């Protein structure tokens, strides 16, 4: 990216020369102008340019009509001012991904073992023929072994290569998919601009300097611009400045709008002045890109520092990437990718499952090491005692090489035991399982942005859902109306309403609503008309159409420029009003809003003749009782339409809002229905069965909320659940000082089901309270759905945040982990199913893998100790251990989920991976297999009437005896793979086996491969061909596994008290208090547990750092600051939401001037702002 910037400047200066005449200002001038803020900017605008209208003139654009849209003109603008596109960072190459996959601990152990064994196989010491050295029992390897010695090492290396390539390929295809997906999201992301006087939506990348863009609530600005006209515009600029307060924008005070910031309120129009890498966010990006190279070098220098630094770097950039993605930034994708990669490599895991797996792998590895050490010690002692003790030989110097060769052979046997003990398939199983699930979840309308969210979802115990759009269809329609003293239960006939009332309704709706809201014809024949813009306004516009009137004609007559004054809708006003100037100099104001609010301001109401009559308090109470409450109890939202005329003689004071908005005349009250999605009640029932509590958090009034919650099945008749309003909720949980008390909250949340009239802060408080709560035996795992800009904080705080793909604002999508592409609650249930499935798949694989490992280790160990030679040869072990396991992980990790997954309770955070039932299965099957193998080993030759393979002379070809042992072992694994399909002690292991073609293919394929190995494997595999009857016996013993499995099922787990669980999650107590940056291993565990919410505060901190980086381009203190950050995990978690940092920017800069001290950063870390209502994480 550095180059881009360098290349741009010379190019541009030339361009400026040529095009200076065409446009009245150059790119650099505009760029400098955009760097100013508020009063400075206004002054510069007026002095140098003569106001924003003149800027438009210089840019050859009309504030009303916009650009002409002429392709040559647009192309020229792109050449002069650049495109609205930030060039992507290069994707990781396949080799980089391979290198990342090689970092896996188990693989490293294997590689070392393989290289040692390869080296030793080529080393032949001299003096092998000396008689005096003795030919101790077991003899030196026969010729075949010594020639085939290299096969073992090569085979291990080969299998490592396979695992690495598969992992790398997985990552690569995922990255590719992710990029494709990102570009899909980007193409869908459009922005409203005016061209040739038409309001059109164009992809963000096509915006050029000089475009007139319409902005409204919830938008993420795609480019820098200057405000031309605005109503009540408030912007959250925390993504650029770190200030969480919303900034008011107006022509007089502060007209500068910056890319990457969010519109929190109001609407307006702006002229675009800088795009792509010249916009404020683009500039930051270019600087970050420049810093990238230096970082990489540092990482290569020291691996020790490398890991944490790398990790933080991804976060730093992720912090920035959050705001900039909409700028067509591929950079954001990269960071997502980085975050995802982190999940794969055990060094940097973040998720619950990864934590459990890493710990389990370490435990198993330790056990394997101990076993292999014991094996080696026993073999060495046996040899020494036998040679020098029993046979009493002297140690001769010339014999030393031979003795060393013996010891080396023992060491190799030890390594074989270790290789067998380590479950190589684990990393692969996890990778396959997650990648498979994410791919399939796409089909179920879940777009997973963070891989670990998929698996966290399986543990969810609570879902806090929005009402509008998630539980309901978000297709508002007017179904009842109260007009002219008559309550119509369905849409009235246009003839029934007097023309003058009808006229008021049409004007009141058409003019007094955002002109961006409109109803378009359906996309498909016979479909429903499309609603664009604000859904409530669309419902009213639909009502106008149902009355056979045309709202567009009215809008054409009164374009937006003619509106005299607009009071836009916001959460405080809960109403919207528009003032028009009449021909006679008077004014007319139309208002609409929540009926309880507007009716209080009404003093008259239109009667059935269309004449205003007095409307007193008792009339109002009666109306509430007779009209409004019955509507609310049907789950309708009530909206009141009203108007007021101001006389021509004196212009009212438009700023005293209370006086303006009074003395209104009520035109009508309408009831708007947002029907519950038909599939929601069923989905909620499934959640409740699965042990997940669904809570509804909504801004609607409590009657409507209660009615809808009952329809959905969130509230069940006859149960004592709480329905609270936001005010009441806050009164119950806050102390006198207004701080949230966790004990108070703990009394409320278990019973709370509906939170109505709630603010975004309430939602955040509730989610945080449930997550931090320690009552109950399981810590809660909370999923949250949200669509509005204001849901950002709650989405980030939650363990899994779901954003709405269709109705969601950009801000909500940025904060989420999973995007619901169809906005449907049932997709959340599917996500739960997939999450649980991932968990179960990995448990199934573990159950299979550990049985193989336990048996193989014991056989290798005892065999080596008793016969001084393992009955299962190294290459055979590898076949069983690496190849079969790799395929088994494929077979068991791709089991499709079934509805039965939703019939059990969630596992929770600290449930072990290997339950007692699984332990029972593992040990039970191990007993069966060991019994069979040892019987065959020591008595098999009598049973089959063949030569014994135990004390076969040296250099003899492979025996049938040992081949039968190997073959039976493999057959038992094969049938045990079928047993492993069930982990909760179910009896029917064949259930729905045909739904998983991969499983069937793998089992049959392995079987075929085994036949080939036994019959044609010969010397390398130490096999000799078997007769048909011997084959049948082997298969028969294998089938015995299935019967034995049924037997194990009958033994109740509860009676086996001695069984232990393994692979626990980390409990809170285990997290060490102080972490040191060097100690990478320790940090991983702390980080895993420093749940994502807190990691987000780290990102916030990193935002501060980003500001430093912008100034200092990664030159100073980045790494020391990182170190400081790493030291504070425990503090952050405790003071989660302390008071606001007055101005984080100062913290950042001061810490550059001095060396960044831990305390300065800790102070910032310990105090994320409490009242952050924006969708961004703020430092």
Residues with active-site annotation: 466
Report H helices in 458-547: 499-511, 535-546
Pair 427, 109: CB distance under 8 Å: no
Q: Which residues are within 8 A (CB) of 247 and not within 5 positions of it... i.e. 6 or more apart?
A: 234, 235, 236, 237, 254
Contacts of 963 (CB under 8 A, 6+ apart): 1014, 1022, 1023, 1024, 1026
Crossing angle for the helix pair 303-324 and 280-301, to the nearest 10 degrees: 170
SS3 783: strand
Residues 6+ apart with CB under 8 A from 1: 87, 89, 285, 286, 289, 290, 292
Residue 811, phi then psi, degrees to nearest 5: -60, -45
Find out whether 772 and 742 touch, Cβ atoms under 8 Å.
yes
The answer to whether residues 592 and 640 touch, using CB atoms and an 8 Å cutoff, is: yes
How far is Cα 429 from Cα 95, in angstroms, rounded to an integer? 22
| Contact of 361 with 353, CB cutoff 8 Å | no
630: exposed, middle or buried (Cβ count in 10 Å: 0-12, 13-18, 19+): middle
Residues 6+ apart with CB under 8 A from 743: none
Structure token pair of residue 733:
């949980």
- CA atoms of 632 and 703, how far apart (whole Å): 6
Provide the token pair at 211: 């475009």
3-state secondary structure of 16: helix
Measured distance CA(335)–CA(316) in Å, rounded: 9
Residue indicated by tokens 């081949």? 963
Biggest distance spanned by C-alpha atoms of the chain: 129
Q: Give the contacts of 709 (CB within 8 A, at least 6 positions apart).
A: 696, 715, 723, 753, 754
Q: The tokens 């519109």 sit on which residue?
A: 263
Between CA 759 and CA 738 the distance in angstroms is: 16
Identify the three-state secondary structure at position 594: strand
Q: How far is CA 1122 from the centre of its chain?
A: 24
Token pair 């609607």: residue:
700
Crossing angle between the packed helical segments 885-893 and 825-867, to the nearest 10 degrees:
160
Distance of alpha carbon 292 from alpha carbon 979, whole angstroms:
50
Neighbours of 391 (CB within 10 A): 11
Distance CA 58, CA 945 (A): 102
Residues linked to residue 800 through DSSP beta bridges, in sequence order? 783
Residue with tokens 């693989």: 107
Strands 462-465 and 782-786, by their bridges, are parallel
Residues in the chain: 1179
Do the Cβ atoms of 341 and 318 come closer than 8 Å? Answer: no
- What residues form DSSP beta bridges with 754? 696, 723
| Separation of alpha carbons 739 and 1137, rounded Å | 10
Element holding 981 (H helix, E strand): none
Contact call for residues 1038 and 975 (beta carbons, < 8 A): yes
| Residue 158 neighbours by CB under 8 Å, 6+ apart | none
Instruction: Give the three-state DSSP class for 101.
Output: helix
């Amino acid at each position: 990216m550095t180059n881009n910037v360098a290349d741009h400047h010379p190019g541009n200066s030339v361009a400026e020369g040529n095009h200076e005449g065409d446009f009245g200002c150059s790119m650099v001038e505009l760029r400098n102008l955009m760097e100013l803020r508020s009063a400075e900017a206004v002054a510069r605008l007026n002095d140098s340019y003569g106001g924003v209208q003149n800027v438009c003139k210089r840019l050859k654009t009309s504030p009303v009509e916009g650009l002409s849209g002429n392709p040559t003109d647009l192309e020229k603008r792109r050449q002069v001012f650049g495109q609205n596109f930030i060039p992507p960072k290069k994707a990781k190459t396949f080799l980089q991904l391979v290198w990342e996959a090689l970092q896996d601990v188990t693989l490293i152990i294997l590689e070392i073992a393989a290289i040692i064994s390869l080296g030793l196989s080529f080393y032949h010491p001299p003096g092998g023929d000396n008689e005096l050295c003795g030919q101790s029992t077991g003899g030196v390897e026969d010729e075949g072994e010594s020639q085939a010695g290299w096969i073992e090492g090569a085979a291990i290396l080969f299998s490592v290569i396979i695992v690495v390539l598969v992992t790398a390929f997985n990552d690569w295809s995922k990255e590719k998919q992710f990029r494709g997906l990102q570009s899909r999201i980007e193409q869908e992301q459009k922005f409203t601009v005016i061209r040739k006087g038409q309001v059109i939506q164009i992809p963000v990348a096509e915006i050029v300097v000089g475009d007139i863009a319409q902005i409204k609530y919830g938008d993420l600005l795609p480019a820098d611009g200057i405000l031309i006209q605005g109503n009540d515009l408030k912007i959250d600029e925390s993504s650029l400045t770190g200030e969480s307060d919303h900034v008011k924008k107006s022509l007089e005070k502060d007209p500068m709008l910056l890319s990457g910031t969010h519109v929190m309120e109001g609407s307006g129009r702006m002229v675009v002045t800088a795009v792509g890498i010249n916009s404020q966010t683009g500039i930051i990006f270019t600087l970050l890109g420049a810093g990238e190279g230096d970082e990489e070098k540092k990482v290569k220098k020291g691996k020790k520092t490398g890991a944490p630094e790398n990790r933080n770097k991804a976060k730093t950039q992720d912090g920035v990437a959050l705001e900039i993605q909409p700028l067509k930034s591929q950079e954001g994708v990269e960071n997502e990718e980085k975050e995802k990669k982190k999940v794969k490599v055990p060094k940097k895991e973040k998720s619950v499952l990864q934590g459990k797996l890493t710990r389990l792998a370490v435990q198993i590895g330790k056990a394997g090491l101990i076993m292999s050490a014991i094996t080696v010690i026993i073999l060495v002692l046996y040899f020494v005692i036998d040679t020098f003790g029993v046979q009493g030989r002297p140690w001769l110097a010339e014999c030393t090489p031979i003795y060393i060769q013996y010891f080396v052979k023992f060491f190799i046997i030890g390594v074989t035991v270790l290789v067998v003990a380590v479950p190589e398939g684990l990393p692969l199983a996890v990778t396959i399982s997650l990648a498979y699930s994410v791919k399939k979840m796409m089909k179920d309308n879940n777009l997973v942005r963070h891989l670990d969210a998929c698996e966290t979802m399986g543990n969810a115990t609570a879902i806090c859902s929005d009402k509008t759009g998630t539980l309901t269809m978000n297709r508002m329609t007017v179904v009842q109306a109260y007009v002219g003293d008559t309550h119509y239960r369905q849409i009235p006939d246009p003839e029934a309403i007097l023309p003058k009332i009808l006229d008021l309704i049409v004007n009141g709706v058409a003019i007094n609503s955002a002109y961006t809201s409109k109803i378009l014809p359906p996309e498909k024949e016979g479909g429903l008309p499309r609603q664009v813009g604000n859904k409530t306004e669309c419902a009213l516009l639909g009502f106008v159409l149902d009355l056979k009137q045309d709202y567009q004609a009215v809008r054409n007559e009164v374009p937006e420029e003619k509106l005299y004054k607009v009071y836009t809708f916001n959460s405080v006003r809960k109403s919207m009003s528009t003032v028009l100037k009449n021909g006679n100099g008077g004014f007319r104001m139309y208002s609409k809003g929540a009926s309880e609010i507007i009716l209080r301001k009404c003093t008259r109401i239109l009667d059935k003749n269309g004449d205003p009559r007095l409307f007193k308090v008792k009339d109002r109470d009666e109306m509430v009782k007779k009209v409004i409450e019955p509507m609310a109890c049907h789950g309708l939202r009530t909206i009141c339409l009203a108007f007021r005329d101001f006389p021509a003689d004196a212009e009212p004071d438009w700023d005293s809002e209370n006086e303006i908005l009074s003395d209104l005349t009520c035109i009508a009250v309408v009831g708007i229905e947002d029907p519950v999605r038909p599939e929601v009640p069923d989905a909620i029932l499934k959640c409740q069965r699965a042990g997940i509590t669904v809570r509804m958090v909504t801004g609607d009034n409590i009657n409507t909320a209660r009615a809808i919650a009952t329809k959905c099945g969130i509230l069940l008749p006859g149960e004592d659940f709480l329905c609270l309003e936001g005010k009441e909720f806050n009164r119950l949980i806050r102390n006198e000082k207004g701080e949230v008390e966790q004990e108070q909250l703990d009394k409320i949340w278990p019973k709370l089901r509906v939170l109505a009239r709630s603010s975004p802060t309430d939602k955040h408080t509730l989610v945080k309270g449930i997550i931090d709560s320690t009552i109950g035996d399981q810590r809660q795992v909370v999923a949250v759905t949200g669509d509005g800009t204001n849901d950002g904080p709650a989405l980030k705080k939650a363990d899994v945040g779901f954003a709405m793909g269709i109705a969601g604002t950009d801000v909500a999508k940025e904060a989420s982990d999973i995007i619901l592409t169809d906005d449907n609650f049932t997709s959340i249930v599917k996500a739960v199913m997939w999450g649980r499935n991932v968990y179960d798949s990995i448990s199934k694989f573990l159950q299979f893998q550990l049985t193989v490992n336990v048996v193989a280790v014991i056989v290798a160990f005892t065999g080596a100790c008793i016969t001084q030679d393992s009955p299962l040869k190294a290459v055979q072990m590898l076949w069983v251990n690496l190849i079969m396991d790799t395929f088994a992980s494929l077979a068991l990790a791709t089991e499709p989920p079934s509805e039965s997954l939703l019939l059990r309770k969630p596992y929770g955070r600290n449930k072990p991976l290997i339950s007692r039932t699984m332990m029972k299965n593992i040990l039970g099957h191990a007993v069966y297999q060991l019994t069979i193998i040892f019987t065959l080993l020591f008595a098999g030759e009598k049973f089959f009437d063949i030569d014994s393979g135990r004390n076969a002379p040296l250099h003899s070809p492979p025996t049938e005896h040992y081949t039968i042992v190997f073959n039976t072992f493999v057959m038992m694994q094969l049938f045990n793979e079928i047993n492993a399909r069930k982990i909760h002690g179910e009896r029917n292991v064949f259930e729905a086996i045909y739904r998983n073609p991969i499983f069937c293919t793998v089992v049959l394929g392995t079987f075929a491969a085994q036949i080939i190995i036994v019959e044609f494997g010969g010397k390398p595999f130490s096999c000799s061909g078997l007769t048909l009857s011997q084959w049948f016996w082997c298969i028969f013993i294998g089938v015995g596994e299935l019967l034995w499995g049924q037997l194990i099922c009958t033994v109740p787990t509860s009676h086996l008290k001695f069984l232990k669980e393994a692979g626990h999650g980390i409990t809170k107590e285990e997290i060490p208090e102080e972490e040191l940056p060097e100690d990478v291993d320790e940090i991983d565990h702390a980080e895993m547990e420093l749940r994502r919410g807190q990691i987000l505060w780290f990102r916030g901190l990193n935002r501060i750092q980003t500001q430093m980086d912008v100034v200092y381009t990664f030159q100073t203190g980045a790494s020391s600051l990182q170190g400081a950050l790493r030291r504070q995990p425990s503090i952050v978690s405790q003071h989660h939401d302390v008071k606001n940092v007055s101005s984080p920017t100062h913290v950042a800069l001061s810490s550059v001037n001095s060396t960044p001290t831990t305390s300065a950063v800790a102070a910032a870390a310990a105090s994320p702002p409490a009242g952050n209502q924006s969708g961004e994480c703020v430092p």
